[in-house]
Structure 1
């Protein structure tokens, strides 16, 4: 059996579409654990209705504790040999569970697929059947690939062997916990695969973690980042890759909140300096990072001016290239 765990919090607008996509899975030996995280809208009633319609659906109600607690609680009551997470405003393809399970062999602990945020693109690509393995490797190889952004650090788009999640739970009480968990869990796998199948539609919303107004809670990004450094602190080979990953995390996170973070500017600069120093313990890894090279040109200007300028210029050039290709 495969357990599908869905944390639910105030998503009545999207929840039915999400649960419908799970209910219509071609792989039917599933249990669906709905964890209502103290919703104050009609989400609980929608969950109850699906539980009445389909005996595979089970509802857990908890006071609002956040997604990590919801996922951990879902794991604790689940019974499947394998586990996958679906966010309650997202949609999965009808063959999502079937196809991920197809690649879960005796030696594999984790299978990952692709996602798309644009619904029309997802609808088209999710029909693809000539699936290829784009990555297959052991723990060390997977960590390096993840830190080079070849693998996702999101908890979704993945099928896990359950003991991974039992032994390495999500961090409770912090946001951006996926930074720590998504890379950290790779330390404990034997082998994983990534396939080029687009099986997951990720819905981008204006009130998501990376789009809401900046608050001190957003500084949790450093809690997760520092715990990841601590986890790999004794591994001299992999730690520089972790540093490289965190340089990009801090850079992009700062860029999202550029107008809001003035009171915390010095903290971002200090953390970035720490993570750059970790990368530079390996000259080879440092040379492979464009961000490190940009940072070294003008460290004091990097977050405020250098990266935003380069990022915006690169975006404009990319747009112009697209227009030239189209002949416009």
Structure 2
């Protein structure tokens, strides 16, 4: 009989972290699973570690391919799933899970019948664990059988690995991870939120997302890498293209909601990094963000708060020296406010 859960783990040059990741999967209290490990052309000892797990635990299987990137590795893992598994999950090979993560999500899905469950996330490093800022809003409280149209904050739930999908839903949606770009999660996760009949949102922390401290930073930590900015904008464009291609009228309103989120939350993340980037980064920012904003509609800027309006106007006009000066001033005052808040808290204590 097929296991109920398939877990796909793409692997590339993570020998420092891989055992911790695979141990956390092996230790799940829900043990009726297969783990498809995809070695994406690693040049370190990662493949040997994965081979050892496959030899010692029949639940683990290893697939090898030439290096093609994270999106391609996830797709390869999906193509190698066993027949008849009911649920599907993805794990990045430098991260880990608490022991009860899959038991909680699968028990919830068994009870509700939702298309997938998504849970809260802790970031971690050598000094300990802390709440993932990217997951605060959508996972503030548990809400079963909900939807992104009922809980708009779910549009920010873009990550691939804090979810368990009903396999029939994932396969039937027909959406695969884009290959050859970074930030490949959102063009799959966001459309899935719109396509789902219902989603289970869990406030419990079901995933541990590593903040790398040694060696190369993770994709999300390379904030002033021009390629990262280009691919993150492209990721947003891919979501927009998917929504634009949908014939159903309801997706027109979904597009408007998604565009608003891009303007007020996702694109403004770039604002904080521009002052730290070099000239090449600032030129890439100006070109690609301007293209995206024009596609959304420059008139949408008029409805935003004054600070956002000004930053977008400076970006579109390619007045980057003024933009950088304004953003540095904003960062200074935000830092001062936080200092004052800490002092006030200590005084009250």
| Deviates further, 29-38 or 248-257 | 248-257
Q: CA deviation at 1:197?
A: 0.6
Cα distance in 2 for residues equivalent to 1:136 and 1:8: 33
Partner of 1:294: 307
Q: Secondary structure at the match of 2:129?
A: helix
After TM superposition, give the deviation of residue 254 of structure 1 in Å: 4.9
Match of 2:243 in 1: 232
Give the structure 2 partner of residue 127 of structure 1: none
Of the three residues 144, 150, 164, the one matched with 1:159 is 164
Deviation at 1:315, TM superposition (A): 4.2
Question: Equivalent residue for 1:87?
Answer: 92
Out of 5, 10, 17, the residue aligned to residue 7 of structure 1 is: 10
Please name the residue that 2:218 is paired with.
Answer: 208
Q: Could you say which residue in structure 2 is the equivalent of 1:78? A: 81
- In structure 2, the CA distance between the partners of 1:165 and 1:173, relative to structure 1 (3 Å rule), is farther
**Residues 132, 299 of structure 1: alpha-carbon distance in 2 compared, 3 angstrom cutoff:** closer
2:132 pairs with 1:121: no
Determine if contact 1:232/1:239 at 8 Å carries over to the other structure.
Answer: yes
Cα contact 2:229–2:285 (8 A) shared by 1? no
- The 2-side partners of 1:85 and 1:165 are apart by 12
Distance 1:252 1:232 in 2: 23
How many Å separate the matches in 2 of 1:209 and 1:271? 23
- Equivalent position SS for 1:141: coil
Corresponding residue of 1:41: 44
Among candidates 233, 245, 260, match of residue 222 of structure 1? 233
CA distance in 1, matches of 2:328, 2:118: 31
In structure 2, do the counterparts of structure 1 residues 271 and 179 end up closer, same or farther at CA, with 3 Å as the change threshold?
farther
TM-score by length of 1: 0.84
Distance 1:245 1:275 in 2: 14
Q: 1:298 to 1:101 in 2, by over 3 A?
A: closer
Q: How many residues of Structure 1 are paired with residues of Structure 2 in the alignment?
A: 310
Aligned to 1:83, what secondary structure does the other structure show?
strand
Once the two structures are overlaid, the 10-residue window that deviates more, 53-62 or 173-182, is: 173-182
Q: Distance in 1 between matches of 2:335 and 2:95?
A: 27
Return the offset for 1:172: 1.3
- The answer to whether the 8 Å contact 1:115/1:199 transfers is yes
3-state DSSP of counterpart to 2:39: strand
Cα distance in 1 for partners of 2:69, 2:259 equals 27
Q: 2:259 aligns with which of 215, 240, 243?
A: 243
Which deviations, in whole Å up to 9, do the C-alpha atoms of 1:43-62 show, x marking residues without a partner? Answer: 00000111111100000111
Which residue does 1:188 correspond to in 2? 195
- RMSD over equivalenced CA pairs, Å: 2.8
Structure 2: runs of 5 or more not aligned: 132-139, 316-322
Q: Residue in 2 aligned with 1:266?
A: 286
TM superposition shift of 1:305: 4.3
Find the aligned partners of 2:92 and 2:81 in 1 and give their Cα distance. Answer: 17
Query: Quick one: which of 175, 180, 191 aligns to 2:182?
Result: 175
1:137 paired residue among 146, 158, 166: 146
CA 1:200/1:312 → structure 2, altered by over 3 Å: closer, same or farther? farther
Corresponding residue number in structure 1 for 2:134: none
Separation in structure 1 between the aligned mates of residue 343 and residue 8 of structure 2, nearest angstrom:
42
Equivalent residues in 2 for 1:96-115 (5 A)?
A: 96-105=101-110, 107-115=113-121
Give me the whole-angstrom Cα distance separating, in 1, the residues matched to 2:150 and 2:116: 13
